Structure 1
Amino acid sequence: MATQIKVNGRDLEPLLLSRLCDRGTALQPDNLIITRTRSGYVKQTYAEHGQRAKQLGSALTKWGVKIEDRVATLMWNTGWHFECYHAISCIGAVLHTLNLRLSPADQEYIITHAKDRIIFADAILLNTLAQVNINALSSVELLVCVGEDGEPGKWSLPPALEAIKAVDYETFLATGDQDFVWPLVPETSTMGLCYTSGTTGRPKGVGYSQRSTYLHTLMSNGVDQLGISGRHVVLPFVPMFHVLSWGVPFNILMMGCRAVFTSHFTDPGSLLQTIGDWKVQLSCGVPTVWQGVRAQIQKEGVAKWKPLLALQRLVCGGSAPAPEMMRWYLDNLGVEFIQVWGMTETNPLGSMSIRLGKVADLAKSVNDTFKNVVKAGLPTPGVEVRIAQFEDLSRDAPCGQTGELLVRGPWVIQEYFQVGVGLTEVSAAVICVELGAAALFMSSAAVMY
């Protein structure tokens, strides 16, 4: 007979993002959130952000958004998108980020499958949305348009979208109350929704819960992970429309650190200028981003840029970065790389690699420790990884042989969003398998110890 253990009150406290997202505002109300625009930079304090996020949450609630209703965003990395992240997730709705780089056909399927009720869209992306067949937008009851550079009313609705009720972002925001109180919602309720890129068939929806994202945020902020401090200046360059920007916006909200957003000014020259203007210390992006920034620095001169930069770390993922590039940043700018691995299905961070991660590394040369960074790294705390035999997933693959990658953790999914609807469409290359009492996510990757 199982032993009955008394439940302590502390263990009943729900793990809700509202507890994390308001923390930065409370700790550093005067710190800045910066967004690049055509005319320069728009600056906002955390106190202003916090008021506007609650006002937006109130406006959504008054409009009729309920728990787990899907509210989509089609936006670049901006302070206004940051407000949506905060408000939508904290009222218990589902933040559904639409990947603007997917085809109109994929967008049509995704919006239809998710049954989005509201879409927030940047003025500059309204024509992108207009390419979607209007029939696919039948579930969309309201389109909230963010003016160019955040200016109220600075947007124009394409003819293809005229059948949808549209309202200006600031007008919609004004219907909410700044003293709004975040509701208590189940920690297991869905808060985020991202779709895969459709490389193994149609895009598949991956839902994240309040609990899983809360835990992922705490984990990913560890000193051997992202290590984001409240004193840092952070530029999250990974698109906020892609896997929740690797979860970094929630780390930023939790710490209240200075946040810098590039909007659609994403070319290497603009990115480098923004990094220099605001003395950015940490940023994250795919290898091609940092190759482009490196080429820009080399073009204009390392001697010019080195004294202008405050960069300490660059987080790199999506594909394996070239060792030569990472070593160039270390030797010429003193910038350390953190290589990360993950998938949409892992919320997304599954492993990280840093140069100095163990006591034994302290006695090694730079050349020897650099070997750590060129690997996928160690599983993040809470994530378990196995490499199983292809023909028998219950048995580990022998060392030195390729096998199937199995991943398990408190933020690793075990099913796709609305799996009852789309289960037959899920490729056998990416499924969830049951091994005894333990559920593990099976990736399509063939890997080796």
Structure 2
Amino acid sequence: MLGLMQQQQLTTGSLIDHAARAHGLTEIVSRRPDGQLERSNWAEVSMRSRKVAAMLTALGAQPGDRIATLAWNRLPHLELYYGVTAAGMVLHTVNPRLFAEQIRYIVEHGGARIICVDPDLLPILEPVIADLPRIEAIVVLCAADEMPESSIPHLIAYHDRVAAADPIGAWPALDENTASSLCYTSGTTGNPKGVLYSHRSTLLHAYAACAADSMALSARDTVLLAPPLFHVNAWGLPFTSAMVGAKLVMPGSAMDGASIHQLLRDEGVTFSLGVPTLWFTVLDYIARNVSEDDRAKLKLDRVFMGGAATPRALIELFRDLLGVKANQAWGMTETSPVSTVCQPLASQMHLEGDAMTDVLATQGRAVFGVELRIENAAGEALPHDGAESGLLKVRGPWVLSAYYGNPAGADVDADGWLDTWDVAKIDADGFLHLTDRAKDVIKSGGEWISSIDLENAATAHPAVAEAAVVGVPHPRWQERPLLLLRLHPGESVEKPAMLDHLAGHVAKWWLPDDVLVVDDLPHTATGKLLKTVLRARYREHLGGVG
């Protein structure tokens, strides 16, 4: 017997319609290319999204077509999020921080015929456009009188075309399994891979992210959209914010500490997400430039971090500097991304200080809909006892079954499990503890050393801004850890002092064989440490076979 409930398709069109009806006057703030702030609201975004759909259709776009974007976190990009997807097209976000060849590969592999680009990102598109023969139209996200000079001919001014378009009357009826957006992995090994999200997966992910035991978003929140719109749908925030009617603040390309602090202060931001490197920059600015009285006036309540393991020192810095609860969330491009969120259990709420930080330093528990599994090398499930580590696998309704271009189910095992290539353990309460990336774990004399644990211990030193640990070949021990440090301005630390500091946090045989202070550390375009570069650069540092 089937239930007698209505069947309503879960689509992004229904989501933006809801935001317009229930939260139409809730403000959306965006920093323009010229640095000025502009203001809109959910009702205006809904109306303009319908005009965007009409504009794209007039340019020849059809349902299923990929519409590529090369753009920052600004208002036109948000309008495209809904105008493209709700009309049945696929929003293909492209990371402008990638190398030119990666951008060319991703756009070409995705098959877009139309690309929308921010005016200040045209110089990135110009060198590769000749190698993108499928592109038929280039829409610049500005008005005609703001159009910059470019070597690319026949550029289309977004604001003029949208203003002239008649909004479509209603969104087309879509099957909720229709593709909605396409995002590519960072491609640290080989070419980037496409992850094709559906309307159903996107809305289910948004439901999960809004839950009280997840990120607990509500209409009372002001959300700083720090994760880039070109990466994993900005961790789903454009959809979760519309779902609950939160105020949305978009920083544009200005991600420096001063600019982010200005938005936190002036817009009354209560919630944000972001990679650890961003928040170290912001907190360093606040610590050096903002008085204790002005810090106390900030309304920031909670921050979730992901994209890379969050150093314990950063959680403590949020607590001690701003009195803000900093949580971790874990996921991947392949998981939409939110899979686990660190929220304490009722039995842990009495914990304070270091004891609570011990909890918050984990990657948290799986949200409903996501299943986690730890396997040994033989593919056997390991117990959730907090002791045994193994390869982490995941499955759920917003986890991919295959990369774009592959047959459905091609990239998971027979039971639907996706290999994350993370090494982890899960404790008896269900909290996930990431140990390392499988490719980053260091094997020394037959024993494993966690680079993440060493990095977290190093960043607990007050002089250290960022740390990276890589395994380099060693003539006796196969591999040994090398610690690279980027220090805060004006700080210094010698190798013996750092080793003494680490000795209080890790086993003696884990201590790095050398400690190097460097001016900068390489990162992927999404803010993760690029350890492939470091391993290649220092492979002969300890005299091993490179």
Q: Tell whether the structures are fold-level matches, with TM greater than 0.5.
A: yes
2-structure distance, mates of 1:302, 1:323? 24
Secondary structure of the residue that 1:219 maps to in structure 2? helix
**Equivalent residue in structure 1 for 2:417, among 440, 445, 448:** 440
Find the counterpart in structure 2 of residue 172 from structure 1: 161
Q: CA deviation at 1:156?
A: 2.5
Find the counterpart in structure 1 of residue 175 from structure 2: 186
Q: Are 1:395 and 2:381 counterparts?
A: yes
2-structure distance, mates of 1:221, 1:369? 23
Find the counterpart in structure 2 of residue 57 from structure 1: 53
Find the counterpart in structure 1 of residue 254 from structure 2: 265
Q: Are 1:112 and 2:108 counterparts?
A: yes
Secondary structure of the residue that 1:432 maps to in structure 2? coil
Question: Per the alignment, do residues 32 and 152 of structure 1 end up closer, same or farther by CA in structure 2, a change over 3 Å counting?
Answer: farther
Q: CA deviation at 1:132?
A: 1.5
In structure 1, give the amino acid aligned to 2:382: D
Find the counterpart in structure 1 of residue 147 from structure 2: 155
2-structure distance, mates of 1:308, 1:360? 31
Question: Per the alignment, do residues 397 and 201 of structure 1 end up closer, same or farther by CA in structure 2, a change over 3 Å counting?
Answer: farther
Secondary structure of the residue that 2:349 maps to in structure 1? helix
Look at both structures and tell me which one has the larger radius of gyration over its CA atoms. Answer: 2
Q: CA deviation at 1:7?
A: 5.7
Q: CA deviation at 1:131?
A: 2.4
Q: CA deviation at 1:115?
A: 0.7
2-structure distance, mates of 1:273, 1:290? 14
Q: CA deviation at 1:300?
A: 1.2
Q: Are 1:202 and 2:197 counterparts?
A: no
Find the counterpart in structure 2 of residue 417 from structure 1: 404
**Equivalent residue in structure 2 for 1:338, among 313, 317, 327:** 327
Report if the CA contact (8 A) 2:19-2:43 is conserved: no
Identity over aligned residues, as a percent? 31
Find the counterpart in structure 2 of residue 352 from structure 1: 341
Report if the CA contact (8 A) 1:70-1:95 is conserved: yes
Which structure is higher in RCO with an 8 Å CA cutoff and minimum separation 6? 1
Secondary structure of the residue that 1:83 maps to in structure 2? helix
Find the counterpart in structure 1 of residue 485 from structure 2: none
Q: CA deviation at 1:307?
A: 3.5
Find the counterpart in structure 2 of residue 18 from structure 1: 13
More displaced stretch, 298-307 vs 203-212: 298-307
Report if the CA contact (8 A) 1:212-1:411 is conserved: yes
In structure 2, give the amino acid aligned to 1:106: Q
Number of paired residues?
Answer: 423
Report if the CA contact (8 A) 2:315-2:357 is conserved: no
Q: Map 1:3-402 onto structure 2 (within 5 A).
A: 5-6=1-2, 8-10=4-6, 12-37=7-32, 38=34, 40-132=36-128, 134-135=130-131, 137-147=132-142, 151-159=143-151, 161-162=152-153, 165-178=154-167, 180-354=169-343, 357-391=344-378, 393-396=379-382, 399=385, 400-402=387-389
2-structure distance, mates of 1:349, 1:239? 15
More displaced stretch, 312-321 vs 60-69: 60-69
1-structure distance, mates of 2:291, 2:214? 28
2-structure distance, mates of 1:448, 1:40? 47
2-structure distance, mates of 1:36, 1:212? 30
Secondary structure of the residue that 1:88 maps to in structure 2? helix
CA RMSD in angstroms comes to: 1.9
Secondary structure of the residue that 1:128 maps to in structure 2? helix
Question: Per the alignment, do residues 80 and 363 of structure 1 end up closer, same or farther by CA in structure 2, a change over 3 Å counting?
Answer: same
Question: Per the alignment, do residues 119 and 15 of structure 1 end up closer, same or farther by CA in structure 2, a change over 3 Å counting?
Answer: same
Question: Per the alignment, do residues 175 and 185 of structure 1 end up closer, same or farther by CA in structure 2, a change over 3 Å counting?
Answer: farther
Q: CA deviation at 1:50?
A: 1.7
Question: Per the alignment, do residues 188 and 394 of structure 1 end up closer, same or farther by CA in structure 2, a change over 3 Å counting?
Answer: farther
Question: Per the alignment, do residues 291 and 103 of structure 1 end up closer, same or farther by CA in structure 2, a change over 3 Å counting?
Answer: same
1-structure distance, mates of 2:49, 2:317? 41
Report if the CA contact (8 A) 1:92-1:183 is conserved: yes
Question: Per the alignment, do residues 304 and 171 of structure 1 end up closer, same or farther by CA in structure 2, a change over 3 Å counting?
Answer: same
Question: Per the alignment, do residues 328 and 302 of structure 1 end up closer, same or farther by CA in structure 2, a change over 3 Å counting?
Answer: farther
In structure 2, give the amino acid aligned to 1:288: T
The alignment's TM-score, normalised by the length of structure 1, stands at 0.90
2-structure distance, mates of 1:67, 1:235? 32
In structure 2, give the amino acid aligned to 1:146: L
1-structure distance, mates of 2:235, 2:167? 29
Report if the CA contact (8 A) 1:23-1:255 is conserved: no
Name the structure with the higher helix share: 1
Q: CA deviation at 1:106?
A: 0.8
Secondary structure of the residue that 1:42 maps to in structure 2? strand
1-structure distance, mates of 2:22, 2:129? 45
Question: Per the alignment, do residues 342 and 24 of structure 1 end up closer, same or farther by CA in structure 2, a change over 3 Å counting?
Answer: same
In structure 2, give the amino acid aligned to 1:144: V
Report if the CA contact (8 A) 1:71-1:93 is conserved: yes
2-structure distance, mates of 1:299, 1:365? 27
2-structure distance, mates of 1:19, 1:384? 28
Superposed CA offset, 1:13-51 (max 9, x none): 211121112222211222211112335311113222221
The alignment's TM-score, normalised by the length of structure 2, stands at 0.74
2-structure distance, mates of 1:260, 1:291? 20
Report if the CA contact (8 A) 2:315-2:327 is conserved: no
2-structure distance, mates of 1:375, 1:327? 13
In structure 1, give the amino acid aligned to 2:200: R
Q: CA deviation at 1:397?
A: 6.1
Question: Per the alignment, do residues 133 and 72 of structure 1 end up closer, same or farther by CA in structure 2, a change over 3 Å counting?
Answer: closer
Superposed CA offset, 1:154-188 (max 9, x none): 122521x23xx421001221343235210011111
Residue ranges of structure 2 left out of the alignment (5+ in a row): 427-546
1-structure distance, mates of 2:171, 2:319? 44
Q: CA deviation at 1:153?
A: 3.1
1-structure distance, mates of 2:315, 2:244? 27
1-structure distance, mates of 2:244, 2:111? 33
1-structure distance, mates of 2:225, 2:68? 20
2-structure distance, mates of 1:143, 1:43? 26
Residue ranges of structure 1 left out of the alignment (5+ in a row): 424-430
In structure 2, give the amino acid aligned to 1:369: M
Q: CA deviation at 1:291?
A: 0.7
1-structure distance, mates of 2:421, 2:71? 30
Superposed CA offset, 1:335-356 (max 9, x none): 11121111110011111113xx
